[in-house]
Amino acid sequence: MVSEFPWHDVVERLSASRAPLLFGVRHHSPACAAAMRATLDAYEPDVLLVELPGELDGLLEWLGHAEARAPLALACGRADGAESEMWFYPFADFSPELVAVRWAVARGVPVRGIDLPMARRGGDDGTRVEVSGIEGWGGEGGDGEGGGSTRTLLDAICRRAQVEDVEALWDLWVESRALGQPAEVVRRAALRSGFAMRLDSALGEGVHAGDLRRERYMREQIAAALRDGAERACAVVGAFHAAALLDEPVLFAEVAYLGGGDGSGGDGSGADDKGKGKGKPSEGRELVSAIAPYDFELLDSRSGYPAGIRDPAWQQQLLGAHQGEREARELCIDVVVRVCRRLRARGHVAGLPDSREAVRVAEDLARLRGLPSPSRRELLEGITSALAQGELYGRGRVLAEALDEVMVGGERGRLAEGTPRSGLLVNVWATLRALGLPGPDDVPDAPLSRRRRGVLPDGKRLRLDVLRSDLDRRRHVTLMRLSLCGVPYGEQVEGDDSDAQSLTAVWQVDYTPQVEATIELCAARGVTLAQAARGALRASERRLERDDALLPAARVKLCEQAAECGLPVEVARHLERLLPELSAQGDLADVVAAATFVERLARGHVPGCPVANDAGTGEGDGGDLKAGEALPGAVSALEVDLAPIGRELLAVSVRCLEGLFGADEVHDARALLDLARLFQRAEVAETHAALGSGRLLDVLRRLARDGSALMQGAASGVLVLLGDRPAERFAVELGSWVDASTGDGAPDGSQAFRTLAARLCGALTVAAPLIEADPALLDGLGERIERIEDERFIARLPALRQGFDVLSPAARGRLLDVIVERLQLKASAAGGATALDVDDDPALLSRWAAADAAAMAKVGGMLSEAAAEPQAKRGTGTAVEPKAQRGAAAADATPRALEPAERWRLVLGQQREKLSPRSARMARALDELYGFGRGEGARGNIGGGGGGGAGQEASYPTVREWAEDLEALFEARVREEVLGEAVARGRSDAILALDPDSVAPSVDLLTQVLSLRGGLPESRLPELRRLVRRIVEQLVDELALRVQPALAGLTTARPTRRPVGPLDLRRTVRANLASARVDEDGEAHLVAERLIFRTRSRRSLDWHVVIVVDVSGSMEPSVVYSALMAAILSGVPALSVSFITFSTEVIDLSEHAEDPLALLLEVQVGGGTHIAKGLRYARGLVRVPQRTLLLLISDFEEGYGVGELCAEAERIVGSGVTALGLAALDDEGKPRYNTGVAELLASVGMGVAALTPLELARWVGEQVRGGG
């Protein structure tokens, strides 16, 4: 395979190059490191050019210092603390670049970094570029594979060489064959390997544009060094880049630098004499650099840190073998012996026969592969074969830990004395020492496998009593400051998911080499940790402002970070700006989060911002330490009056409630609950002063009456929590929801299913703690569940199960225990038997139930006949019971095969082992969709016997079998609802069970189906399109039937005097009234002097409707209705329609406006929201403003600053366009939107409303008729 390409000529040119001498390396390569010194001794260069960015030049003398001990790391990062732009360059003794730098420093040879400066690399998107000269290399890969495909060449080479990846190929070509070879042979092998990788990229998708820019810069720096008088330059670069650095480069293309420029300007470093300085502020990005000790654990590529290599301890020992310090066979024996020693220490047998066999297997494999000695690959295969003994999880795990210790190692670097360190690092060291936290002197010598798994060997898991201990408060503030600076020193362990505020903070801390390097990079922000934290906070704020992303949620987070870090001045500054921003743009969740934070501040529950009378706020106050002992990390009290801010935030939160009438997400119900708790904790007098009398309760009552189903349930529960509604009424209301879904007036189809489930979900989200404390709240619901007929219960069972699914499995288990106890008490009081103590034969019970059902059917028929009799025949009679009481009485006499306890087990998804066979089938069918729940108890076997039970039923093999069971157990309509919900939850296979010809069309089902577009294989897309087409056609027909009357008259043809169409009689008569004459007989005659005809309207002269649709994740129903309305409006001759969608990008789909199916298949719902960008594009489509209608359909949750949005809206309205913002476009007209942004848009002249499609059609008709 390799011989098919003209390798020899290129490798000869690479090895013969002397301007400069090219040494292509892999970043960590024992073979190249061993050959480097001999190559440099023979060539004696007068300047060393290394593939490192110029920002690091000032640190190279300390990197190569004779007293410095590897591993070490050079670090470079942005001075403003952008975590996404931080680079590490770790070096070990087996790193060829480090060997070269040490050689140059020892001999006084200048060393220069020639790589593209870091300050000029931002914005590289990974674009690949086709390079010149590829034609001469052909495109045919090995094994008959066509060329041009990605990695064809290397794939073929790896298959031929029987290695798994490029790293193993390098080991085969370079490392394993280098022992005992001259340095020049190693250099040629490395150059050849690097060129193979470059050729593979060129034959595939092309070379990365970023690599080509770097290579262009390296060529310019080499040319500059030669111009400066270098006669014997040596360039140590990645082997991949070497071919591009020849006088006549191979497989190279010149690519422009990002941001323009010619690459001049020197090295771009700007490092100071101390080796710590700021890089040139190229393109506004100020960089800092640092040097820090590293260790082998982080150097291992499996640690997750960059630029590593596998098994660095092995690579270190291999370097010694390359340098002739020991034989390769002796090295293998030593590794095997140490591994066996560790196995024996853990209680496993690993003696001389095992170790001898492992070495023999490794050597035999090396001979079979033509290698002079075993490489890492052969050694690992030999050890695994001889010592693992086929046990992957027992002995195999112990062997892996032993290999981890031996092959990875625990070597740690050390800087030379005098290496410059920043003042910040010294300050942090002193702070950690004073607070008793782990520092550089406390790095443990522990098994690396334990540290890699995240288990600290010295048990440094700190539980800090931050509110009562001054020492712990200072520790917490210090750890928060380090986290804010991006220093990976400590990680705060989150508590449970409960709503209770934790009084302690748990931290897991570890001092690693990366801690030191990151602190050095933060030194540009200050010389103390408090200064650095303030600088990091300000830098984050500037980045958010630059990206126009400083939204209220981000402002709240900045304020919280400042408070936790003990920066009261920053807290006061953010609090001052917080209230106006939340009033203008915040949604309920943001406002409640801010109000909760302010409440914590006021109560002194934020460790970094204690109230003025808290102890331990002064410098030197040691709290629980010895008197007079000064400690770092002291914080000052916050001098801000928080009470007015809290009251204003509560008032803003009430205004936000107006935008929740159409909310259908559980997190909105939780935000409502959080708001209720805030009001419960607030002072009554202050709350009333801020809100006025009863404003909150008024909004909640309207939500409970007119809101979406979810918000009706949530608002009802909140009213109980606030004491406005008695618990008894809430219990009755829960039961009435079941009545509404099962009674004579219940809605048919999916609406009843969704409404019942959503109401229960909202109520239980809010009132779950109340119900657990007082199960009597479920009495009303229990009466319905226990008494309605089996058929009606089964039809509503999926909705009931979905509603209770919001509770955790443990909560449902506890609730079931209480309900069962209540049923037992009722049975005892009645003196009769229930399903809890009936021991009759199930077959007998089944026959009894069938006989009872038949009798009830007969009685029901007789009652129907009686109801049909004329009232006169029956007489006046007596007063009739209310319907609800009649229903309850009838239900008491209704025979039920499903007894109350069994019904509750089905509803709550608990105690599956106690269900009858038929009920167990129903539970299994519902478990396929709802599973066993989330939250407390989800992973455990809750109450094995009396709790949830994990269940042992097998899941359905296919969705078809599941669908058949659903239809057999429930009914066809319920089957569709359950499958539709499965589609909404991501079960893409459930779509195959929906029949396009029989499915009931609905917008909800359509949105669920459309959500699967990107997750289905190509073979299933035709079925998806068929289903979507069927639903869309039916929805368009139904919607057009309703809205077209509102558009009547817009299709009337225009009058004209040209005889191009039918006569317009009405207009002709009106135009000739002046010629009317009355004859002798008194009859009127009209002389038609001017005839007026009808002609079809031309779109170019008529009204232009621009529909701008927000397709972010919360807008699915409105997106569907927008597409349907666009198609209907496009059919009106007097209107032309443009259809624009936006999230953070804008897409013009106007060409599909007449085809709703094409529109909906093109629209991608999801992502962020940039309303201003969508309006700016729409403004460019306006040609005649006075005859343009712009419809903005959005929830107004702007993801960017509102200033730009208001400016765009004002420009549109000011130009004469009639603009309307729609917070919702659906059949209910109940929006969920951001009230603050909507009010801002209304203030600049854009109308804001929530309309149904019919109301929108009427509005369009009124605007067109009024403007005509």
Q: pLDDT tens digit string along 756-802?
A: 888 999 999 998 888 878 878 888 888 888 888 888 888 888 888 88
C-alpha 193/C-alpha 25 separation (Å) is 9
- Cα–Cα distance measured from residue 1074 to residue 136, given in angstroms and rounded to the nearest whole number: 91
Note whether 328 and 373 are within 8 A (CB): yes
* CA proximity to 254, closest of 221, 219, 203: 219
Instruction: Report which residue type is found at 903.
Output: R
Least confident of 618-632, 861-875, 1232-1246: 618-632
Residue pLDDT, tens place only, 187-219: 999 998 888 888 888 887 888 888 899 999 999
Distance CA(485)–CA(483), nearest Å, equals: 5
* pLDDT interval class at 878 (50, 70, 90): very low
Architecture of domain 322-408: Orthogonal Bundle (1.10)
Whether the per-residue pLDDT at 1047 is higher than 60: the answer is yes
The model's confidence at residue 358, banded by pLDDT at 50, 70 and 90, is very high
pLDDT of residue 147: 39
Whole-number pLDDT of residue 140? 42
* pLDDT greater than 50 at residue 879: no
| Predicted pLDDT at 118 | 81
Q: What is the DSSP string of 781-803?
A: HHHHHHHS-HHHHHHHHHHHHHH
- Provide the percentage of residues in the chain whose pLDDT is more than 90: 17
Q: What kind and span of H or E run contains 1077? A: strand 1076-1078
Give the pLDDT score at 129: 84
CATH number for the domain whose boundaries are 1099-1267: 3.40.50.410
User: DSSP alpha helices (H): ranges in 682-708?
Assistant: 684-691, 695-706
Least Cα distance to 1240 among 1248, 1229, 1251 occurs for 1248
C-alpha distances out from residue 17 to 182, 247, 297, Å:
18, 9, 38
> Sorting pLDDT into bands at 50, 70 and 90, what band is 362?
very high
- Range scoring the smallest mean pLDDT among 439-448, 490-499, 653-662, 971-980: 439-448
Q: Is pLDDT of 220 > 50?
A: yes
- Work out the average pLDDT over 1166-1186: 88
Q: What pLDDT was estimated at residue 929?
A: 79
Pairing of strands 1103-1110, 1135-1142: parallel
pLDDT value of residue 1120: 85
DSSP 84-135: TSEEEEEE-TT-HHHHHHHHHHHHT--EEEEEPPGGG-TT----EEPPTTGG
Distance CA 1196, CA 1250 (A): 12
Span 795-834, pLDDT tens digits: 888 888 888 888 888 888 888 888 888 788 777 766 554 4
Please provide the distance, in angstroms rounded to a whole number, between the alpha carbons at the two ends of the chain: 77
Helix (H) or strand (E) holding 463: strand 461-464
Asked whether residue 1126 carries a pLDDT value surpassing 60, the answer given is yes
Answer whether residue 234 shows pLDDT above 90. Answer: yes
Lowest mean pLDDT among 654-658, 747-751, 856-860, 1023-1027: 747-751
pLDDT digits (tens, 9 = 90+) for 591-646: 999 999 998 888 888 888 876 554 444 433 333 433 334 556 667 777 788 888 88
Q: What is each CA distance from 989 to 500, 670, 953, 1106, 1116, in whole angstroms?
A: 40, 32, 20, 37, 21
Confidence of residue 87 (pLDDT cuts 50, 70, 90): confident
Amino acid 909: pLDDT: 86
**pLDDT for position 66:** 92
pLDDT score at 836? 44
* 1251: pLDDT strictly greater than 90: no
Domain positions in the chain: 2-294, 322-408, 423-446+456-619, 1054-1077+1084-1095, 1099-1267
Asked which of 455-464, 498-507, 905-914, 1241-1250 is least confident by mean pLDDT, the reply is: 455-464
Q: How does pLDDT run across 799-809, given as a tens digit for each residue?
A: 888 888 888 88
Q: Give the pLDDT band of residue 1236 (cuts 50, 70, 90).
A: confident
Alpha helices in 937-1014 (DSSP H): 959-969, 972-984, 1003-1010
pLDDT per position as a tens digit, 737-746:
888 876 444 4
Q: Is the pTM of this model over 0.95?
A: no
The H or E element containing residue 25 is strand 21-25
Q: Which DSSP category does 18 fall into?
A: B
Please tell me the distance from the alpha carbon of residue 639 to that of residue 611, in angstroms, as a whole number: 8
Nearest CA to 212 out of 241, 248, 190, 247 is that of 241
* Higher-confidence position of 434 and 879: 434
The pLDDT confidence band at residue 32, using thresholds 50, 70 and 90, is very high
pLDDT of 111 above 90: yes
Provide φ and ψ at 787, rounded to 5°.
-115, -25
Does position 305 have pLDDT exceeding 70, yes or no?
Answer: no
What is the mean predicted confidence (pLDDT) over 157-176? 76
Q: Per the omega criterion (within 30 degrees of 0), is the bond before 1117 cis?
A: no
For 265-290, give the DSSP string.
STTS----TTS--BPP-GGG--EEEE
Residue type, 1062: P
Cα 337–Cα 338–Cα 341 angle in degrees, nearest 5 = 90
Per-residue pLDDT band for 1199 (boundaries 50, 70, 90) equals: confident
Average confidence score pLDDT of the chain = 78
Integer CA distances (angstroms), 81 to 76, 282, 287, 291, 486, in order: 11, 16, 9, 17, 8
Let me know the angle formed at the C-alpha of 1225 by 1220 and 1227, rounded to the nearest 5 degrees.
Answer: 140
Q: State mean pLDDT over 33-57.
A: 92
Distance CA(552)–CA(120), nearest Å, equals 32
Whether omega before 71 lies within 30 degrees of 0, making that bond cis, reads yes
User: 1084 with 1076: CB under 8 angstroms?
Assistant: yes
- Could you please report the per-residue DSSP string of 556-589? HHHHHHHHHTT-HHHHHHHHHHHHHHHHHH--HH
Q: What pLDDT was estimated at residue 818?
A: 82
CA angle 595, 600, 605 (to 5 degrees): 170
- Beta bridge mates, 236: 23, 50
Which of 21-30, 457-466, 510-519, 1144-1153 shows the lowest mean pLDDT across its residues? Answer: 457-466
Alpha helices in 991-1115 (DSSP H): 1003-1010, 1021-1043, 1065-1071
